[in-house]
Structure 1
Amino acid sequence: MEFDLLYWWLLALPAAFAVGWLASRLDLRQLKRENRESPKAYFKGLNLLLNEQQDKAIDAFIEAVQHDPDTSELHFALGNLFRRRGEFERAVRVHQHLLGRADLAVSERDRAQHALAQDFMKAGLFDRAEQAYRALKGTAFDTEAQLALLNLYERSRDWSAAAEAAAALERSGTGSFGTRIAHHWCELALEADAKGLAEAADAALAKARAAAPHAARPLLLAGQRLAKAGRHAEAITIWDELRVRDLASFALVAHDYADSAVASGQATSARQRLQAAYEQAPGIDLLRARARLDGHDLSADAALMSHLRHQPTLSAALAVLARPVDQWSAEAAQAVGEAVARAAKPQQRYRCAACGFEAQRYFWQCPGCLTWDSFPPRRVEEL
């Protein structure tokens, strides 16, 4: 009896081994076949994508995902492709599917959350994008999420939130955001002024100057508010500080500076300062402000022709054209002609309709994209 039992065990062991070996071979063949099919579909999609055949690439990636539904990289590739094509709803579904997987690693889950936030942002769903970005706090995507939130707040004109986000980024060592914060507080000051909240506007401007002491806009805006309130002498003082710090930005309020100088009885000293500023950085706005202090229009300014010769701009040419016809001279006509020719030169080009390449002469084949007959036979100014 014992011999029979041992005999059957000896027969059963090789049989079990053979069955197991056959099963493993079948599974291995199936696995190899699936592995061959999945990369093949993936690389096919990649090749189509590189050849800018996005529709066919999407089909190939969908096929790859069906062969290997557990591969997150294929899902990311497909979702990002949907987003690039503007198919935001499909991109959201792909990334939400990834987030719904229980077996997804923490790093991949954060990556999917970041991709989902980008989907919402591109789709213009700012509330959902904000929630998605906030969920990335403390992750590897924290800094990117904070920068995206800052752009979102600026885009939606939520200046308080933008200032707070920029300050947090600066505290974290991401970079310097002082000038950007100053702009946020300047916007808040304008909003407060529109509502008649003078004290709130003053406080906002003070914070703007504290955030970026050398920024031009807080000084410019502070002077405008003082001038509007009739405090012209104080406005002149603020704008003189701006003139010393940033002469280019001072030109933006040069005309207001002249008006406040007249109103506060400082026309003579203000003219001297404007003349010095003009000599340092000649500009039509400074010239116009100086003419205002001289009590005449820019077209009657004796220095206008000299300015037009050195800076043949359309603004100066228009000022000359405002003169009466009997005051025209050959020199004036020549200067105006040169200014108009200079301004018209960028418009006297041919532009490729396919890639935007511009050229002074006509091409039958675009030198940029090599497309035939892509240049309309009309210059840019005639289109």
Structure 2
Amino acid sequence: MSNEILIIFALLFPIAWYFGYRNGKQSGKSEVNDKSAGLSRQYFTGLNYLLNEQSDKAIDTFVSLLEVDSETVETHLALGNLFRKRGEVDRAIRIHQNLIARPSLSAKHRKMSLLELGDDYMAAGLLDRAEHIFKELVLDPQHKQASLSQLLQIYQQTKDWQNAIKVAEKLHLGDAPERRKEIAHFYCELAEEFIFEQSMREAVNQVKKALSIDPSCARATLISGTIHYNNGRYKKAIKSYRDLMHQNINLLPEAIDNIRAAFIQLSDQRGFIKFLEQSIEAGAGISVILSYAQELQVEQGDKVAADFIARQMVKHPSIKGLLKLINLHLKHASETAKPSLQMLHDVVTKLLKNKPVYHCNHCGFDTKTLFWQCPGCKSWGSVEPIQGIEGE
């Protein structure tokens, strides 16, 4: 017998006994015997189902024993909640709808039942029905915060960012860093939608709003840099990427190709090298280090580039750095050394191929794709390039 069935049994047994006792007190003697016998038959039928591990039939039988009044509403709510947690959402919906349909239900219990029914609809993916319920409950001070939180979740799932912003601002948590971060990402989502629609002015406005809410929003800065770069404003693009260096240097690899291209468009190779040197000094990872090594390789040759990588590897061991070092040595290796280096090259390449690139700092979710909202824990801005020997 599962623990959940035992919980249901524990919930229902005292109620079943109570109604048997109450019916007996309020009826004549022959009627008492009839009702008690009927109750006993139902109860023992349910118990028999339970003992034979026919849990569905047992639950239906026990639930049918309950009348709905002020003394059993809490039990019905608990049962519905339990069904939802077990994944039996249809049953939970049926119980909560049955409660709401009772004309004798108090206003307090109706709102409690509505809140549970809204959660049922959320679990079932019926977001439009859930939204309707939470919009009603948000007008009640007792249920306002819970309803707003659920509405915020709905609008994120449906990508209704305008309403998500409105609801987030109503949660009275606008000054909390995590809430500011969320709202900034909502504005970034709107900016990316406008970019897709080729509405660049609106996209820039959304980025400005994101940065006004959260000046440390690296995503907004990345979007700003991309907009400037795509519109040929290379100096402004580079300025945005310099800001990124101070906001979150771990995300600099996401922009390194645009940064190089912007400096090339400005015919400022020395400026790019200086940018890389400043980034490395500020703690940039292996992607930036390898970009700098590539510039050294072009200007001063393979040996200088290999020596630079080797020095960096002493301070910051990296599989990516090792692979680049192997490639440089392969070009100049003797015929007898090449097979071993090639084998090492293939092993390291396969190792990197199967490794995730990004990691959620909140829940530990690993992925090869940068998600601004973690697919695992749904937190915003927590997924970043993996650091250390297997990453940056």
- Normalising by structure 1, we get a TM-score of 0.69
Match of 1:315 in 2: 320
Given that 1:117 and 1:133 are in contact with CA atoms closer than 8 Å, whether structure 2 keeps it comes out as: yes
Match of 1:268 in 2: 270
CA apart distance, 1:315: 2.9
Given that 1:320 and 1:336 are in contact with CA atoms closer than 8 Å, whether structure 2 keeps it comes out as: no
Letter in 2 for 1:89: D
Equivalent-residue separation in structure 2 for 1:235 and 1:23 (angstroms) = 82
Unaligned runs of 5+ in 2: 1-24, 357-392
Match of 1:75 in 2: 76
Match of 2:330 in 1: 325
| 1:159–1:344 CA distance, 2 compared to 1 (3 A) | closer
| 1:265–1:174 CA distance, 2 compared to 1 (3 A) | closer
Equivalent-residue separation in structure 2 for 1:268 and 1:175 (angstroms) = 38
Please show how residues 100-139 of structure 1 align to structure 2 within 5 Å.
100-139=101-140
- Bigger mean CA deviation after superposition, 282-291 or 209-218: 282-291
CA apart distance, 1:221: 0.9
Equivalent-residue separation in structure 1 for 2:276 and 2:219 (angstroms) = 20
Q: Quick one: percent identity of the two aligned structures?
A: 24
| 1:342–1:190 CA distance, 2 compared to 1 (3 A) | closer
Query: Given the alignment of the two structures, is residue 178 of structure 1 paired with residue 180 of structure 2, yes or no?
Result: yes
Equivalent-residue separation in structure 2 for 1:37 and 1:286 (angstroms) = 77
Given that 1:159 and 1:187 are in contact with CA atoms closer than 8 Å, whether structure 2 keeps it comes out as: yes
Given that 2:192 and 2:203 are in contact with CA atoms closer than 8 Å, whether structure 1 keeps it comes out as: yes
CA apart distance, 1:106: 2.4
Equivalent residue pairs, number: 320
Equivalent-residue separation in structure 1 for 2:253 and 2:219 (angstroms) = 12
- Bigger mean CA deviation after superposition, 229-238 or 318-327: 318-327
Which of 282, 285, 305 is equivalent to 1:283?
285
| 1:109–1:265 CA distance, 2 compared to 1 (3 A) | same
Equivalent-residue separation in structure 1 for 2:151 and 2:326 (angstroms) = 50
Match of 1:202 in 2: 204
Given that 2:191 and 2:206 are in contact with CA atoms closer than 8 Å, whether structure 1 keeps it comes out as: yes
- Bigger mean CA deviation after superposition, 224-233 or 59-68: 59-68
Letter in 2 for 1:63: T
| 1:27–1:269 CA distance, 2 compared to 1 (3 A) | farther
Larger radius of gyration: 1
| 1:316–1:136 CA distance, 2 compared to 1 (3 A) | same
Given that 1:154 and 1:162 are in contact with CA atoms closer than 8 Å, whether structure 2 keeps it comes out as: yes
| 1:327–1:106 CA distance, 2 compared to 1 (3 A) | farther
Letter in 2 for 1:127: D
Given that 1:223 and 1:234 are in contact with CA atoms closer than 8 Å, whether structure 2 keeps it comes out as: yes
Unaligned runs of 5+ in 1: 1-21, 348-383
User: Is the partner of 1:135 in helix, strand or coil?
Assistant: helix
Which of 51, 59, 62 is equivalent to 2:60?
62
| 1:296–1:116 CA distance, 2 compared to 1 (3 A) | farther
Match of 1:151 in 2: 153
Match of 2:93 in 1: 92
User: Is the partner of 2:137 in helix, strand or coil?
Assistant: coil
| 1:252–1:191 CA distance, 2 compared to 1 (3 A) | same
Given that 1:312 and 1:338 are in contact with CA atoms closer than 8 Å, whether structure 2 keeps it comes out as: no
CA apart distance, 1:189: 0.9
Please show how residues 162-241 of structure 1 align to structure 2 within 5 Å.
162-170=164-172, 176-241=178-243
| 1:189–1:345 CA distance, 2 compared to 1 (3 A) | closer
Equivalent-residue separation in structure 1 for 2:244 and 2:270 (angstroms) = 19
Q: Deviations over 1:210-237 (max 9, x none)?
A: 1111211111110111011111111111
Equivalent-residue separation in structure 2 for 1:66 and 1:181 (angstroms) = 47
Given that 2:168 and 2:179 are in contact with CA atoms closer than 8 Å, whether structure 1 keeps it comes out as: yes
CA apart distance, 1:169: 1.4
Q: Deviations over 1:152-196 (max 9, x none)?
A: 111111111111111221368888511111111111111111111
Letter in 2 for 1:116: L
CA apart distance, 1:279: 3.5
Q: Deviations over 1:109-160 (max 9, x none)?
A: 1221111111111111111111122121133232122111111111111111
| 1:217–1:263 CA distance, 2 compared to 1 (3 A) | same
Equivalent-residue separation in structure 1 for 2:288 and 2:221 (angstroms) = 18
Match of 1:4 in 2: none
Which of 258, 261, 268 is equivalent to 1:259?
261
Q: Deviations over 1:59-82 (max 9, x none)?
A: 444333222222223322332343
Equivalent-residue separation in structure 2 for 1:254 and 1:238 (angstroms) = 12
- Normalising by structure 2, we get a TM-score of 0.67
User: Is the partner of 1:73 in helix, strand or coil?
Assistant: helix
CA apart distance, 1:290: 2.1
Equivalent-residue separation in structure 2 for 1:342 and 1:171 (angstroms) = 44
| 1:64–1:246 CA distance, 2 compared to 1 (3 A) | same
